[in-house]
Structure 1
Amino acid sequence: MRRIAIVGAGQAGLQLGLGLLGAGYEVTLVAERRPEEVRGGRVTSTQLMFGPALRIERDAGLALWDDTAPVMPAFELSHWEPEGQPDVPPRRFTAPFDREVRSVDQRVKLSAWLELFEERGGRAEYRSVGPADVASVAAAHDLTVLATGRGELSALFEPDTSWPAHDGPPRSLACFYVNGVAHDTADPAAGYVRNTGVPPTGDVIMMRALTVGGPCDILLIEGKWGGAYDCWADRPGAGDGLRRALELLRAYAPWEYERFRRAEPTDAGAALYGAITPAVRRPVARVDGDRRVLGLADAVAVHDPVTGQGANNAARAAASYLDSILRRGDLPFDEEWMRGAFDTYWASARHTHAFTDLVLREPQPEHVGRIMETAFDRPEVAHRFANGYADPPTYRDWLMDPDGADAYLAGFGR
């Protein structure tokens, strides 16, 4: 029986580990926290998941919340300029999703998957692993996969210089899980994924979710540096932070303030602050001289959450690596195989990274501005844009390509 170690117990690491257990591999999972610590800790992400990624979970028998996690049927995008044109109402479009969209608090999902991993015979080691510890883990296994992008472990992987390097995070981030948001049958948009962009302040993104206490709403604030949304350096508690966020909504998205004005944090750990520097790294690292380890998901490709791709990227990465491992059979997991496994996954995932970089680009390319202007007027353009979030490679021939955009918009007289 082949022995595989996975360091990191997030979406990608646990999904891969459970898949390998089901295929008869001996799997060791190294996690920093036990299930009860995950469940009782702070929120860690917004984990918006689109139809294709949800299907990966369902096909693997891991979609444990189909009966309880809210479904978000549509996407709403608003653009408002209250400082320059306060009397001009926001521009807005709404487009239905073709497939389901959900969000399950990682505290709920990962704690349950950790318990399932142990129930199915996986070996879980609860401890911190630094760069110096990786060699001993790798020496005891046929393959070692690093599935965490946090801390010093990600530094084991060299930057991929074929991608533009970011010298710092493009946005400051604040996230709140809340109860008490108004959900009225006369206001169906309250159950949609919603994004309000206010230049030069940033974006606020709202969504429904399932958390430890049941259904809730998530408010994610993406602040441009130096703008009004960049105000979280003091890391306030959940209650104080939410009150500050509500004042921002009152000023920059008043229609959202009306929905959120009675909101309260779901629990003491319902606030998250931070900033993410996007990065693409080479997938193979050497430890202890000539021993190789393979990077997975955030360990080698990190995205800002503005496009909601993190959990989807992790699910796709784990599924792709699982397939590559199973196809390898009894052959060695050498460096050539490792690079090939990553390349198979990256052939599609590279478009996800490029899409997120495009959304964060300042200023936006001229052809992107024309596409969005058309989307506010033409529902079919809004629909195509909204559903590209579920499958970013579909943006390649129009949103990502000025000539393709010209050809597409010509059909609308643009």
Structure 2
Amino acid sequence: MTTHSFAKITPRKIAIVGAGQAGLLLGCALLHQGYAVTLVTNRTAEEVWSGKVMSSQCIFDQALQIERNFGMNQWEAQCPNVNGIGLTIPTSDGKGEMAIHWRARLNACAQSVDQRVKMPGWMTEFERRGGDLRIENVEIPQLEALTESHDLVLLAGGKGEIVNLLTRNDARSPVRQPQRQLALAYVTGMERSGPFECVNFNLIPGVGEYFVFPALTTQGSNETQACDIMVFEAIPGGPMDRWADVKSADQHLDVCLGILRDYLPWESERCANVQLTDANGILSGRVTPTVRNPTLTLPSGRVVMGLGDAVMVNDPITGQGSNNATKGALHYFDAILRNGDKPFDKAWMQSTFDGLYEGYAEPVIRWTNSLLFPPPDHIVRLLATAQHAPRVAQRIANGFNDPRDYGSYWFDEDATDAWIAQESQSRAA
């Protein structure tokens, strides 16, 4: 684990409500630095393992490196690698042909570990490092009790009424309603595609998106297995929005496969022998992209701070949710250590979150939200150029690792067209 140069202080008491990517990672990292950490969640490790899938997480190298540095990469050796990004846009005539298609390698691999595997493992690791793990529901009285006994309380749960007490920041949340009907399926038996494993993105104009990538998931009561995660993003009310009347896991998968047959025959061909990993390997719903204000003042006047999905919820279309949570955990970790013996007051909380949002999250959120709307002409030209310009394709692909790079061209038509022209001249030379 990477060591930090912060001065050693008297161990302080930190409480984290929520056992997800951000909360567990931060809790384990603080324990390693000598902090006394309490983590409160409403499900046991066994309940998480045997429950429904929670996400379609794909974590890219920068975030994976944070896990490595904190000694939290327990599944790296057995998890399939994602070595590239592929992009396909079908022709608009409905004939099932590709108008744009390319694949590009990532500079370093990505991985996806089912949260039903990861969170139970991290809960075990949290207790192994000396953490106090409590299984209970948390409402205002429990938050009040935690703030009485701890120096800092972080609310890291991404769902539920308690999280909604963190108010929406309208200025930072320009998207006001869900832009996609989401559905995913964890499957085995999918045929491999291409010379290296990719996140294969398929963008169907006016209909929605489909992407698929390899992952590691549960098998039985305590084993793991490789799988693929199929993710559908349907424009609400459109021809791909077909899950409203689904009553069973098998019916859910049938709807997914029917969409592939109708719109993406090259993906359908890979799925002739797929089957669900388990009856709980499905999920559907809608997400409103939201940035919340990071502090909650309790009736006592004491203040709780939001972390991870509790304060920033992205649409999964760019696969940045777990990456944002991981980088957010590191940002909070550094800020907590820098704060030393000083109070974790409301000003510190706001400043810490603003540093994360302005320094990293804002450009990621802006890029993610942009993909929920029809692409401007210069982006279509760029994606088409990438078919014949490997350097363009590779830069676009590696932006998933650090999406801040998109800020230098994605939103600027002149910058994009200048880059396209430069690449065209380079190929002609």
TM-score grouping bracket, smaller chain normalisation: over 0.9
How many Å apart are 1:92 and its aligned residue? 0.2
Say whether 1:354 aligns with 2:366: yes
Aligned sequence identity (%): 40
Secondary structure of the residue aligned to 2:327 is: helix
Say whether 1:296 aligns with 2:307: yes
CA contact (8 A) 2:188 2:276 kept: yes
Computed over aligned residues only, the root mean square deviation of the Cα atoms, in angstroms, reads 1.7
CA contact (8 A) 2:173 2:289 kept: no
Determine the structure 2 residue equivalent to 1:97.
106
Determine the structure 2 residue equivalent to 1:334.
345
How many Å apart are 1:289 and its aligned residue? 4.3
Match 2:120 to one of 108, 111, 115: 111
Match 1:17 to one of 21, 27, 51: 27
State the alpha-carbon separation in 1 of the partners of residues 20 and 335 from structure 2: 20
State the alpha-carbon separation in 1 of the partners of residues 141 and 281 from structure 2: 33
Determine the structure 1 residue equivalent to 2:218.
212
State the alpha-carbon separation in 2 of the partners of residues 238 and 6 from structure 1: 34
Compute the TM-score of the two structures, normalised by the length of structure 1.
0.95
CA contact (8 A) 1:131 1:156 kept: no
Aligned length: 409
State the alpha-carbon separation in 2 of the partners of residues 85 and 239 from structure 1: 27
Determine the structure 1 residue equivalent to 2:79.
69
How many Å apart are 1:406 and its aligned residue? 3.3
Match 2:37 to one of 22, 27, 30: 27
Say whether 1:234 aligns with 2:245: yes
Say whether 1:203 aligns with 2:209: yes
**Correspondences of 1:67-216 after superposition (within 5 Å):** 67-81=77-91, 84-86=93-95, 88-183=97-192, 187-188=194-195, 191-213=197-219, 214-216=225-227
How many Å apart are 1:293 and its aligned residue? 1.0
State the alpha-carbon separation in 2 of the partners of residues 244 and 138 from structure 1: 47
Determine the structure 2 residue equivalent to 1:398.
409
Say whether 1:44 aligns with 2:54: yes
Determine the structure 2 residue equivalent to 1:384.
395
Residues 280-327 of structure 1, C-alpha deviations (whole Å, 9 max, x = no match) = 111112112421111111111110001000000010000110111011
Secondary structure of the residue aligned to 1:72 is: strand
- Runs of 5+ consecutive residues of structure 1 not aligned to the other structure: none
State the alpha-carbon separation in 2 of the partners of residues 371 and 14 from structure 1: 39
How many Å apart are 1:413 and its aligned residue? 5.0
CA contact (8 A) 2:186 2:229 kept: yes
State the alpha-carbon separation in 2 of the partners of residues 224 and 9 from structure 1: 31
Determine the structure 2 residue equivalent to 1:369.
380
State the alpha-carbon separation in 2 of the partners of residues 283 and 360 from structure 1: 25
How many Å apart are 1:73 and its aligned residue? 1.2
CA contact (8 A) 1:131 1:152 kept: no
CA contact (8 A) 2:331 2:356 kept: yes
CA contact (8 A) 1:246 1:261 kept: no
Letter of the 1:207 partner, please give it. Answer: F
